[in-house]
Each structure stands twice: as structure tokens, then as C-alpha cells.
Structure 1
Amino acid sequence: MHLDQFNAASRTEAADALRPCLDIQRWIDGLADARPYSDVEALLAAGRAAADPFTAAEIGAALARHPRIGERAQGDSTEARLSQSEQAGLGAADAAVAEALADGNRAYEEKFGQVFLIRAAGRSREEILAALTTRLAHTPEEEQAIIGQQLREIAVLRLEGLMGR
């Protein structure tokens, strides 16, 4: 979809296009209702602004739909395909890294009660493992702020992709 198509789309079509980027209704409504955008940069800036900050409930809802890092998203929805594509960019992991990620995911979920979320695009499995290890030392409050930032990064990257960039 190009920006001119997004700007000209019906409200429902625009919202449907945005949903796989970040399925948080407040964010979708904010971007769909602020159309038209003068350029893609204005849309991306609006996407960042609408996502800052997220409420705890919004973060919880978004995390409920994200697969564990290193695991393949299930289903054939656009959101699942985007997640699969983002994680496919990680390449093949050696057995030790895969096991350490699985162990780290379990430890993170035990400590924080939610899935570990990180923008996978542009990162190696080793970088993700290092971030996971670092983040395990955080308090829940510190981690909520980081999760919000990661959700924003994921949403804006997906929004860029939606606009063909």
C-alpha cells in the first residue's frame, strides 16, 4: 500500500491495514483519524507519537499476541506472517544459542509473567540473547518501559513496510 492509497482508503480499510502493525485500538484510531498525511515520514512520526506511552493494559494485550522469540508465530494472519518474516531474519541458530534462548524465555516468563518481547529485525540471535540476559536483571517497572519502546519500534518498522519502504 502506498501513502496515497492509505490516505484515500475508507476509515475501516485504513484501520484494517494498520492492525497487523500494532493491534492496539487507540493507536489504530489515532493514525486512521489523523489522515491525510503529507508524506511517509509524517505518518511514521504520528505512529511513534501515538505509541508513547502505552498503558499496562495495552502492553498486556499486545504481548498476548506475540510468540516467544525463537519460536515461529502460528497461523496465517498478516501479523503472524510479519512475525515469521522478522524472526526468519535471525538465521539459523546453533544448538547452544537456541537452548539458551529457550531457557532465557522461561526465566523471563517466570520472573515477569509475560513473554519476552524484542524487535528482532536487524538483530542476531546472539544479540537478542545478550539483551534477554541483561533484561532479566531489570525490575518490572524498568522492563515495562523497555517493552513499550520495543512495541513502538516493531509497530513503526511494520508501518514502514506497509508503506512499501
Structure 2
Amino acid sequence: MTRGPTLPAHHLPYLPTPLDAFNTAPVDEARALLLHCLHSRRWSGRVADHRPYPDPEALLAAADEAAYDLSPGDLAEALAGESLPELPEDTYSAAHMALSAAHAAYEARFGHAFVIYLGDAPRGEIIDRILEAIRSRLANDPEEERVTAAEELRRLARGRLLALLDGARNCATRHNAPTPGR
């Protein structure tokens, strides 16, 4: 059996991954993007200055390391840029009132916004997790709460970085997908 001529290989144009785009972005753009993940100039500068990252895991490891090294001033700066997590739109008003009261008590005790990572929380449990965590953490002494808040900030930054990388990847995929019917 004889074969016909081989068709030429079709090469897709190179499309940068979200990590490639981050690695090659001007340093000011990379730092600004990182400030959306954690509101610390030192952290964002440190993560941006260590580019390029070979893979997302290396980026996350560097982000974690930089978060672990936050000074008390860096931590205060990062906490000042945070606010309470958004609640689902259908959350009833009594829950908003309970959350506002608990948050006011937390801010009065510790002097900064309450931070919590909720990336793994089912939508229907968000308000309960926030209220439970605020009430539990109100019993912490200030140093213990500083350590807890720093860990929650690290987890938030990590989750936001992953969302940015994934969001950029999904956006690129949607923009480069063939149009149905064509």
C-alpha cells in the first residue's frame, strides 16, 4: 500500500501563557498586578524582581516566601488595603448586621480589617465561616492574631495569584477559541 504525500505540519502561532506575560511585563506593571493580590509594596517588589518564574508553582513558592518575610510594617500596610470579603448577593440582612457588629468588635480589638481566605468555602457557608472565624479569633491575643492574619494574607495572595493566572488563561482561551458556526 502506498501512501500519498504527507501534509505539511500546521503550527499554531505562539500564544504567551499568563505566566509568560507576567514574566515579560515591565516591572511597574508586574508590581501593580501583584499589589492587587497583596497590598504590600515590599512583597510585590520582591516577587516581581525575582522574575522570570519557570512555572506557576515557582511563582507561588516565591510569593509564599515573600509573604512569610513581611515585617510588622509590611503587614500593617497589607492589612490596611484589605476589606471584608464580599458576601453572596442573597445574604439576608440580619447576617449583614451580625457581620458588621462582629467586624467592628474585631477592628476595635486589633486595629485592622479582618482577613480570611475563603477560596475553598462553599457559597452557602461563607457567612457562617466568616462569623465563626471572627468570633474565634477575637479570643486571640494581639501577637497570636498578627500571626494568624499574616497567614490568611499569604493564603489570600496565593489564591488571588492563581485566580489571575487562571483568569488570564481562560480569557486567552475564550478569545482564541473558534467562533461557533465558522
Measured against the shorter chain, the TM-score band is 0.7 to 0.9
Q: Relative to 1, partners in 2 of residues 1:105 and 1:62: Cα closer, same or farther, differing over 3 Å? A: same
Query: Aligned to 1:127, which of 123, 126, 129?
Result: 129
Aligned to 1:78: none
Give ranges in structure 1 of 5+ residues lacking alignment: 71-86
The whole-number CA distance in structure 1 between the counterparts of 2:92 and 2:18 is: 39
Say which one has the larger Rg. Answer: 2
1:146 maps onto 2:144 in alignment: no
The whole-number CA distance in structure 2 between the counterparts of 1:12 and 1:105 is: 34
1:32 maps onto 2:30 in alignment: no
Q: Relative to 1, partners in 2 of residues 1:115 and 1:34: Cα closer, same or farther, differing over 3 Å? A: same
The equivalences for 1:48-59 within 5 A come to 48-59=64-75
1:97 maps onto 2:95 in alignment: yes
> What RMSD over aligned residues (CA atoms) do the two structures have, in Å?
1.8
The equivalences for 1:1-165 within 5 A come to 2-67=18-83, 69=84, 87-88=86-87, 90-123=88-121, 124-164=126-166
Letter matched to residue 99 of structure 1: M
Contact 2:43/2:70 (<8 A) preserved: no
Structure ranking higher on relative contact order (CA contacts 8 Å, 6+ apart):
1
Q: How many residues align?
A: 147
1:38-74 CA-to-partner distances (Å, cap 9, x unmatched) read 111110111111100322211211222222x26xxxx
Contact 1:22/1:62 (<8 A) preserved: yes
SS in 1 for 2:68: coil
Contact 2:37/2:157 (<8 A) preserved: yes
Letter matched to residue 138 of structure 1: N
What displacement does 1:92 show? 2.7
What displacement does 1:146 show? 0.6
Aligned to 1:80: none
Moved more, 37-46 or 26-35: 26-35
The whole-number CA distance in structure 1 between the counterparts of 2:68 and 2:131 is: 26
1:94-147 CA-to-partner distances (Å, cap 9, x unmatched) read 233222211111111121122212124333110110011100111001100010
Give ranges in structure 2 of 5+ residues lacking alignment: 1-16, 168-182
Contact 1:104/1:133 (<8 A) preserved: yes
